A and B are shown apart, each in its own frame.
Chain A
Amino acid sequence: MASLILRRPWERALAYLILSVTGFIMVFPFIYMVLSSLKPSTEVVQVPPTLWPSEVRWSNYLEVLNIVPLGTQLINTVIVTVLVVLGWVVTSVLAGYAFARLEFPGREFLFGAYLATLMVPFAVLIVPMYRLMLVFGWVDRLEALIIPWLFTAYGTFLLRQFFLSVPKDLEDAALIDGASHWGILFRIFLPLARPAIATLATFAFLYAWNSFLWPLIIISSPSRKVVTQGLIDLQALYAARVDLIMAGSTLAVLPTLIVFLFAQRYFIEGIATSGLAGR
């Protein structure tokens, strides 16, 4: 982490200029979103555009919750997200531990095959999954957004890598004491795995909260839709009310930003780890 490239003052100034301009481009849209969501509707489409609202209209938020059931849709999204996060964590911890610490025939093959499933594009699965949901009677039901998505090869890989790094002495001592593997997993490995689980949970959260293509296909009743669908409906119905659409977008984006604020480290570590998998 030595300063290798930026030695002279003008180089540092240039670096800060690049960082600031890029940072502005990254953040400005969000500032625009929040400020526009508080404007009177005519002011948002003004030419030339203004940034600061002449008067603050919190009522936009009430209005957007009334015209599209965005409140219900937010609750749906929360339910789906919480259950998918839980599912990812439980199935990945169990499978990751089995692949890392237990010996059984076909282990390497099964793990390799599971990782290979990541190669299949999601687009291949959407049509047959829709037909499967017809068979299960889950079309237009929240079950379709939850149950098929409770397992993950990425999470299993992440937890397996973590469990591989735990020294063997720990479980040997427990095994001699007669503990079962389930007991060892829950009493010794699980507490150690908290950072890896947090990383996985942030990933699952992003994945579930932002999912769009699958809900778009499988859910059609407004009261069962998730927030991303609600936004698209809002845009289709009230394209001219930019203030309302920005209020809706703010409601959809804000929770992820708040979670990010508190769990930043895990988001960034999770992605950095997936990158190191390429080494």
Chain B
Amino acid sequence: MAKQAPAALPVTPPRRLSGRRVRQWIDAFGMLLPTILGVLIFFLTPLGISFYLSFTDARLFGDPNLIGLSNYQRALSDPVFYRAMWNTAAFSLVTLVVSTVPALLLAVILNERIAGRTFFRAVFFIPVVASVVGVTLLWRYLLNVDFGFVNYAIRLLGFEPIPWLTRPEWGLASVILVFSWKTIGYNMVIFLAGLQGVPSQLYEAASLDGASRWQQFLYITVPMLSPTTFFVLVTTLINCLQVFDVPVALGLTRSNTVGPADSMLTIVPLLWREAFIGGRMGYASALAWLLFVIILLLTLIQFRLSRRWVHYE
């Protein structure tokens, strides 16, 4: 923190200005240095390595050999890859609805002037902060077919218990349930922030014009909230496509299947299994780039579609 001597004041303006500018560049460089080093070493370098590895036969150890597009061809002819893709798609599509619609409903209620808003907001947020692995293990027992409380409730309602974690046809539903339970509070808080950004004069003007509450919701809230809705949909989709913790903590078995008959296997768990249990690092890298391309494409499509329904002020 070198202090400039007061005598520096009478120096001619242009020189002083450029000296100041250069000093600013140096300061900026110093402040950005940790970040620049971090990005270079722990982001750009691995990114490059990953791209290279995806064209090689890299194993856990040893030198990789270039094998062209074989890894990508292999993925596209591998039934397990298609299984994981299908699971990821189905999981993402359902979760996109199940974790956002209730979140919006709760946010609309909590945006009202009612007692206990902050209490309920905190309650809905608790699953968001709790460790994914911790709560997922907990759900492993809540969903147990014999002694789980979920099936206890289902029996009380007079239905047959559901083999959530033991039958392949219920595996994905269980992942959706736990993931949505954990995500609703997060999405609700974002919706709530969006709702609070809608100017109340709009509603006052509309009700003076005789608009019903339903009309106000439809013609003021929905369009004014559309940028927030768009953000929630984009981030939820990106998170869903990369889901790892919930399926693995919920379904990993001794034989390294994820859920019964791999029914909970999504892309990232498959990638992890190929790379670190199968030792096929080249193949796993190709899977990673396929996932990256899919995420980019879907995000791009969402941005394209958003022009039709998202209204920015």
Contact = CB atoms under 8 A, between A and B. Distances in A.
B141 to A, nearest CB: 5
Interface stretch (B89-97, B168-176, B257-265, B281-289): B281-289
B104 to A, nearest CB: 12
Contact of A232 (B24, B112, B185, B252): B252
Contacts of A121: 238, 241-242, 268, 288, 291-292, 295
B134 to A, nearest CB: 4
B130 A277 contact: no
Contact of A275 (B34, B109, B190, B216): B190
A191 interface: no
Given A5-B217, A257-B129, A272-B190, A45 B146 contact: yes
A98 interface: yes
A80 interface: no
Interface string A38-66: 00000011111100000000000000000
B227 A278 contact: yes
Given A228-B131, A256-B129, A256-B130, A44 B34 contact: no
Contact of A252 (B29, B50, B133): B133
A128 B53 contact: yes
B140 interface: yes
Given A4-B213, A126-B275, A94 B35 contact: yes
Contacts of B134: 228, 231, 249, 252-253
B66 interface: no
A173 interface: no
A178 interface: yes
Contacts of A99: 32
A131 B152 CA distance: 48
Interface residues of B, number: 121
Interface string B118-160: 0011111111111111110111111000111100100100000
Interface centre among B133, B142, B234 (most CB of A within 10 A): B133
B203 interface: yes
Contacts of A249: 131, 134-135, 137-138
A197 interface: no
- Where chain A touches its partner, the secondary structure class is helix
Interface string B25-52: 1011111101100110111011111100
A215 B259 CA distance: 21
A227 B249 CA distance: 13
B131 A252 contact: yes
- Where chain B touches its partner, the secondary structure class is helix
State which size class the interface on A falls in.
Answer: 35 or more
B64 to A, nearest CB: 9
A86 to B, nearest CB: 12
Interface string B283-313: 0110111011001100100000000000010
A199 interface: no
A246 B186 contact: no
A178 B4 contact: yes
B49 A103 contact: no
A180 B2 contact: yes
Given A178-B8, A231-B133, A275 B123 contact: no
A275 B24 contact: no
Interface in A102-136: 102-105, 107, 110, 114, 117, 119-132
Contact of B216 (A4, A30, A48, A132): A4
11 contacts: A29-B142, A104-B29, A117-B39, A121-B268, A121-B291, A212-B244, A217-B276, A232-B252, A249-B134, A252-B134, A267-B129
CB-CB nearest 7 A-B residue pairs: A278-B231, A275-B190, A272-B193, A128-B49, A128-B46, A151-B38, A178-B4
Interface of A: 1-7, 12, 15-16, 18-19, 22-23, 25-30, 32-33, 36, 44-49, 90-91, 94-95, 97-99, 102-105, 107, 110, 114, 117, 119-132, 147-151, 156, 178-183, 185, 206, 209-210, 212-213, 216-217, 227-228, 231-232, 235-236, 242, 245-246, 248-249, 252-253, 256-257, 259-260, 264, 267-268, 271-279
Given A119-B295, A178-B3, A278-B228, 9 more contacts: A22-B184, A29-B135, A49-B148, A104-B25, A121-B268, A128-B285, A181-B23, A216-B272, A256-B129
